A = this chain, B = another copy of it.
Amino acid sequence: MKQNFRTKLSTLVQIALIVCLASPLLLLAEEGMWTFNHFPSQTVASRYSFAPTQQWLDHVRLSSLRVAEGCSASFISPHGLVMTNHHCVLECVQQLSTAGQNFVQDGFIAQTPAEERKCPVFELDQLIKISDVTAEVQGAIAGKTGAPAVAALHAKEAELEKSCGSDPATLCQVVSLYEGGIYDLYRYRKYTDVRLVFAPEMSVAQFGGDPDNFNFPRFDFDIGLVRVYEDGHPISSPDYLKWSANGSQSGELVFVSGNPGGTSRQLTTAQLGFERDTALPSLIPAISERRGLLERFITENPDRAREGDEALFFDENTYKVLFGREQALLDPDFFNTKIQEEQHLRSAVDADPKLADDRSAWNEIAQIQKTRAKDFDETFATGMFRYSDLLGVAVTLVRSADQRILPNDQRLPAYTDQALAAIQRDLAAPVPVFKDLETMQLRWILSEARRQLGVEDPLVVKMLGKESPEQLADRLVSGTHLDEAGVREQLYNGGESAIQASTDPLIVFARGIEPELLGFVKQSEAQIDAPTRAAAQRIANARFAIYGTSVYPDATFTLRLSYGSVKGFSDARGQLVSPYTTIAGLFQRATGAPPFKLPASWIGAKDSLNLSTPMNLCTTNDIIGGNSGSPLINKNGDIVGLIFDGNIYSIGGDYGYDAVKNRAVAVDSRALLEGLSKVYHLTRIVDEIQSARP
């Protein structure tokens, strides 16, 4: 990918620095994932003659939701109706399916309120309030380094989060922005009784499948509808987004309110070099191998699609994302731009005596990358453990039993009282576990660990003993009862004595390697995470001193607002791609063979559809993974689309935004209504949406 914009930017930075070192960094075009409390309304006004008011921002914020599993969503009616993507409710759809009733393939329609079905695990978070706690957090860690700094940070975070509300429906999180430059306390209203209302057939939700993923032109009906309940009834939600009467048009100003999961735009070049030279070259082939395993796992027995489809989708998507990032970092022009940006900032720091203490931070981070490289094999091998649900459960049970004995403020961040509540809930959820899939994953995880660490590595020797990865995985998975929610609950409630007494082979296994795993977690925290945080905070300090909050912080899977416009782009062959596709195009692209096979519902409804209805559209909004399911809204705050993807050039957006080619991709609001009413005849829902129109 080209990073033309970045090249321009760095020149401008240079000029800005020459003229006045303290002047704000000039951002071009629509770059930026802005927090709601520092949104650049005046910049928007100067370009589009419209400035979001505080009231507008509050309304949009309260109408927006975060899907805890990693997506975004919004209220679209006063009765708790929530819109997100199909791929964001897929896990729920899969969990509600049975061998006899495949909702992934056939879709799910609750024709009556009584048919709306609770998702086993689904949490929606509504951002109620943002409070600045920078002074308190920075005060708590001031003067400390190493383990004491970590402990102080965790203690202060735990204290702030606990003091913020003890109501089980309240979730509080200390959010570190600008890598420690600002600490904000985010208070959420948490909804956990979430029921599935509608999911189309996966074949039209993800029409074009992996080949079309991250591409545009696009033709997906990627919507999922759920409803929030409390005490057995739909909630009343005063804040919700209305449906635009007329949709959008080319060039129009549009906003995306959602939760970009993470970006790495403020990493130092040493950190980016680590990603390019060490992390990505190992991670990408591992994901590719797992993809091959899953493909064949499903091919050998198509009944297993229900078990393996979600994991396969995840791998296909991850592959494109990681590959796109690697390509961006391997582009010498792009990387040189990052080097230049860093040099400009460092020159400014060097020129300012007040920032003298911050000058060494870049070199410290560069040094830490050597430790990361040395530890990488172990980080990588143990990081892969998360690909087995059952192993994850076993490690969580063993570790949480140990951690709960400690006072709240001395625990690992993932085991605070608040985090334990979520752990307990997840463990008790009746989620189906597919043992043959689990066996395959665990075989792969153990093989991967031996490959990465070597045959003679102590952890490998301890894990495998005289067994092969295949033998061990087969024995652990076939013998465990951790697939039963009751067993998990019992072990959790029984605490340390229950864990010590357990003869479940996976618990025995996890117990055996816990000293090594915990040691490695603590070592990483002390030698890598903590010193990185400390150095990054000094860089953030310096950045503030020079640019202020005129730049946006890296994404943190918290609510952000981006602005942009409906706009096409030039593809790799230099052809201009129009910003809209149509329903007619969907039918033209269909071949009858997956993933270009339309479901019977759409084929049957074709004659009744207005084929010129816009199907998907693309915009210049700056988004990234986590924004899936975000509402695309106009200046009235009304819905004109549903974000579900970016084009191929958006992937490098992890490290920088390319205004020329980077595009967000959404389902058009007009296609959504056309499909819901004419294909799925979901009259009660269409009426609910329509009655909420402005």
Of all A-B residue pairs in the complex, the 8 with the closest CB atoms, nearest first, are A292-B292, A296-B296, A468-B593, A288-B288, A285-B288, A292-B293, A289-B292, A466-B591
Given A211-B451, A299-B440, A455-B589, 12 further pairs, Cβ under 8 A = A211-B450, A284-B285, A284-B288, A285-B287, A285-B323, A286-B288, A288-B288, A288-B289, A290-B292, A297-B300, A455-B596, A464-B591
Q: Inside 8 A of A464's CB, which chain B residues have their CB?
A: 591, 593
Question: A-side binding surface: helix, strand, loop or mixed?
Answer: helix
Most chain B CB neighbours (cut-off 10 Å) among A292, A331, A332? A292
Does A281 interact with chain B (Cβ within 8 Å)?
Answer: yes
A591 partner residues in chain B, CB cutoff 8 A: 464-468
Other-chain residue from B277, B451, B454, B467 in contact with A330 (beta carbon distance below 8 A): B277
Are A319 and B593 in touch, CB under 8 angstroms?
A: no
Beyond A300-B300, A326-B281, A451-B210, whether A592 also contacts B319 by CB under 8 A is: no
Chain A 271-294 interface 0/1 with B at a Cβ cutoff of 8 Å (1 = within): 000001100010011111111111
User: Quick one: closest B residue to A300, CB to CB?
Assistant: B300
Bound CA–CA A471/B595 (angstroms): 12
How many copies the complex holds: the figure is 2
Residues of B within 8 A of A285 (CB): 284-285, 287-288, 319, 323
Instruction: Determine which of B212, B471, B593 lies in contact with A471 in the assembled complex, contact meaning CB atoms within 8 Å.
Output: B593
Give chain B nearest CB distance to A578 CB in angstroms: 15
Decide if A139 is an interface residue (CB 8 Å cutoff).
Answer: no
Q: Does A317 contact B (CB under 8 A)?
A: no
A295 at the interface (CB under 8 A from B): yes
Q: Which residue of B lies closest to A330 (CB)?
A: B277
Determine if A208 is an interface residue (Cβ-Cβ < 8 Å).
Answer: yes
Does A594 have its Cβ within 8 Å of any Cβ on chain B?
yes
Q: Which residues of B contact A595 (CB under 8 A)?
A: 468
A interface list, Cβ under 8 A from B: 208, 210-212, 215, 276-277, 281, 284-297, 299-300, 319, 323, 326-327, 330-332, 440, 443, 450-451, 454-455, 464-468, 470-471, 589, 591-596
Bound-complex Cα distance A443 to B295 (A): 11
A102 to chain B, nearest CB (A): 19
Task: Select one of B281, B289, B297 contacting A289, CB under 8 A.
Answer: B289
Distance in angstroms from A448 CB to nearest chain B CB is 11
Q: Which residues of B contact A593 (CB under 8 A)?
A: 464, 466-468, 470-471
Task: Give A292's nearest chain B residue, CB to CB.
Answer: B292
Residues of chain B with a CB closer than 8 A to A450's CB: 211
Contacts of A467 in B (CB 8 A): 591, 593
User: Complex formed: what's the CA distance from A466 to B592 in Å?
Assistant: 7
Say whether A323 contacts B212, CB under 8 Å: no
Closest chain B residue to A331 by CB distance?
Answer: B277
Distance between A5 CB and nearest chain B CB, rounded to angstroms: 21
Closest to A322 in B: B285
With both beta carbons as reference points, the residue of chain B lying nearest to A273 in the complex is identified as B332
Q: Which of A208, A287, A288, A471 has the most CB of B within 10 A?
A: A288
- In the bound complex, what is the Cα–Cα distance between A292 and B295 (angstroms)? 9
- In the complex, what residues of B have CB within 8 A of residue A451's CB? 210-211
Q: Can you name 13 A-B residue pairings with CB atoms under 8 Å?
A: A208-B455, A211-B450, A281-B281, A281-B284, A281-B327, A284-B288, A289-B289, A291-B292, A293-B293, A299-B470, A300-B300, A464-B591, A465-B591
Cβ contacts under 8 Å, A215 to chain B: 454-455
Residue among B212, B295, B330 making CB contact with A455, cutoff 8 Å: B212
Chain B residues with CB under 8 A of A589: 455
Please determine whether B327 and A440 come into contact, CB atoms closer than 8 angstroms: no
Q: How far is A464 from B277 in the complex, measured between Cα atoms in Å?
A: 37
Task: Give the residue of B291, B300, B455 whose beta carbon is less than 8 angstroms from that of A211.
Answer: B455
Q: How far, in whole Å, are A288 and B208 apart by their CA atoms in the complex?
A: 24
Contacts of A326 in B (CB 8 A): 281
Per the bound structure, the CA–CA distance linking A281 and B289 in Å amounts to 14
Shortest CB–CB separation between residue A602 and chain B, in angstroms? 17
B594 touches A468 (CB 8 A): yes
- Tell which of A294, A330, A592 has the most Cβ of chain B within 10 Å: A330
Contact of A281 among B330, B443, B594 (CB under 8 A): B330
Residues on B with C-beta less than 8 A from A319 are 285
Of B289, B297, B454, B466, the residue contacting A291 (CB under 8 A) is: B289
